[in-house]
Amino acid sequence: MQLIDLRAQYCALKTEIDANIQRVLNDAQFIGGPFIRELEERLAAFVGRKYCITCANGTDALQIAYMVLGVGPGDAVFCPDMTFIASVESAKMLGAVPVFCDIQPDTYTISPQSLERQIKAVLAEGKLRPKVVVAVDILGNPCAYEGILALCEKYGLLLIEDAAQSFGASYHGKRCGSFGQIATTSFFPAKPLGCYGDGGAIFLDDSRLDILCRSLCVHGKGPGGKYDNIRIGMNSRLDALQAAVLLPKLKALEKYELEARQTVAQRYHDAFAGKFVTPFIAERCASAYAQYALLADSKEQRNTIITHLEEKGIPNMVYYPTPMHALPVFHNEPLYGETFPHAVDYCSRTFSLPMHPYLSEQEQQVVIRNVLEAL
Ligand SMILES: *Cc1c(COP(=O)(O)O)cnc(C)c1O
């Protein structure tokens, strides 16, 4: 059994994936080309954005987003205390200061109440310019966008949606990847839409930002092409081979994978409701279930369960064991008096189980039996 079974997916889509890969090899166009163009069009249409720019990975997508929005020294970037470091790493690298916010105790996404407290604290201190909120759809669950957008409006902040884990999820009828001035995603193999290596994408609606992103992806190219360099950029492109792999996967995701994820999640929910805290999905929202995370009663109970699962060979993982403010690399960041009780509590009790669209009911029963056995 696998936490995420990429081999089962390949077996299901083998004919189409193999044919596409062969076509790239025959045409020998490895950078750019028709697969990249078709993928960008299909991704933008799926998410409901005017533009999609593919790039080398989700971390680069975030870096380009921060660069496009002009993030730099003196800026405060507000981010959830419980996320993967990539959400805010490149903002820090560009000279900005990450300001952590607690999560909501139910959805585990950034808490608008904590966000507003932190914005006010930064303003009161008067040292940093509140600039960007990075909203992370953690575990595939969309953020509370109504509250976040209202705060962005109130305080004049820009919004980046980190949709690395939420491709296919939705909030109030809109797909994840459609929120904020810029949204980013990742095609790392284990994400809801993954390729066979690294890959990422940027989503936006403003044609000037589209041109700017495409320039930053290719060494700051200007209107005259890649040797007409008008700014300092990066080399961040998606390979044509990865686009060839992603096209059939996107089709499968739309056709049946998203639904299959809901079926798997519902079976876990039925088995674990009342015994653990199961994922909470708000009204008119759908999670992509990048992970299926449960909360145990205590850290001790969580660790006992993990030890039992390890002994029985059942894959499991903790997303994430340490809140951002407690990571060694962030020991010197200003916390503005926040203690992040919900993020700390979540990290101490969470554990994730095998979750993918090809998980059979039989395999799932084995997982469920072993988790309940550990209690
Ligand atoms: C995976 C991930 C990223 C980074 O994506 P890569 O393609 O691995 O660079 C960023 N943010 C979140 C929340 C992620 O889960």
Confidence at residue 37, expressed as pLDDT on a 0 to 100 scale: 98
Please state the pTM of the whole predicted model.
0.98
- Ligand 1 close to Cβ of residue 162 (< 6 A): yes
Query: Would you call 113 helix, strand, or coil by DSSP?
Result: helix
CB neighbour list of residue 140: distance below 8 Å, 6 or more residues apart = 165, 166, 168, 169, 192, 287, 288, 289, 290, 291
- State which ligand 1 atom lies nearest to the alpha carbon of 199: 7
Distance CA 157, CA 143 (A): 16
Confidence at residue 301, expressed as pLDDT on a 0 to 100 scale: 98
Average pLDDT, the chain: 98
Confidence at residue 150, expressed as pLDDT on a 0 to 100 scale: 98
Q: Which two tokens stand for residue 246?
A: 């992603």
**Could you give the angle at which helices 240-252 and 34-47 cross, rounded to 10 degrees?**
40
Confidence at residue 198, expressed as pLDDT on a 0 to 100 scale: 98
Q: How far is the CA of 184 from the centre of ligand 1 (A)?
A: 9
Name the percent of the chain in helix, strand, coil, to the closest 5.
45, 20, 35
- Ligand 1 close to Cβ of residue 165 (< 6 A): yes
Q: How far is the CA of 291 from the centre of ligand 1 (A)?
A: 13
Give pLDDT < 50 ranges for the chain.
none
Cβ atoms 244, 21 nearer than 8 A:
yes
Task: Tell me the one-letter amino acid at 206.
Answer: D
Q: How far is the CA of 6 from the centre of ligand 1 (A)?
A: 18
Ligand 1 atom 5 nearest Cα? 58
Residue 108: left if φ>0, alpha if ψ -120 to 50, beta else—which one? left
Q: Which two tokens stand for residue 308?
A: 């039992």
Confidence at residue 17, expressed as pLDDT on a 0 to 100 scale: 98
Q: Which two tokens stand for residue 141?
A: 């669950």
- Ligand 1 close to Cβ of residue 86 (< 6 A): yes
Confidence at residue 182, expressed as pLDDT on a 0 to 100 scale: 98
- Ligand 1 close to Cβ of residue 161 (< 6 A): no
Task: Report which of 4, 10, 7, 1 is spatially closest to residue 252, judged by C-alpha positions.
Answer: 10
- Ligand 1 close to Cβ of residue 178 (< 6 A): no
Count of CB atoms within 10 A of residue 214's CB?
A: 17
- Ligand 1 close to Cβ of residue 186 (< 6 A): yes
Confidence at residue 181, expressed as pLDDT on a 0 to 100 scale: 98
- 170-171: strand order across its sheet: 174-175, 170-171, 285-286
Q: How far is the CA of 173 from the centre of ligand 1 (A)?
A: 24
- Ligand 1 close to Cβ of residue 167 (< 6 A): no
- State which ligand 1 atom lies nearest to the alpha carbon of 200: 7
Residues facing 134 on adjacent strands: 160
**Residue 251 burial by CB count (10 A; 0-12/13-18/19+): exposed, middle or buried?**
middle
3-state secondary structure 249-318: HHHHHHHHHHHHHHHHHHHHHHHHECCEECCCCCCCEECCCCCEEEECCCHHHHHHHHHHHHHCCCCCEC
Q: How far is the CA of 37 from the centre of ligand 1 (A)?
A: 23
Query: What digits encode the pLDDT tens for the residues 233-276?
Result: 999 999 999 999 999 999 999 999 999 999 999 999 999 999 99
- Ligand 1 close to Cβ of residue 59 (< 6 A): yes
Q: What is the DSSP letter of 327?
A: S
Ligand 1 atom 14 nearest Cα? 164
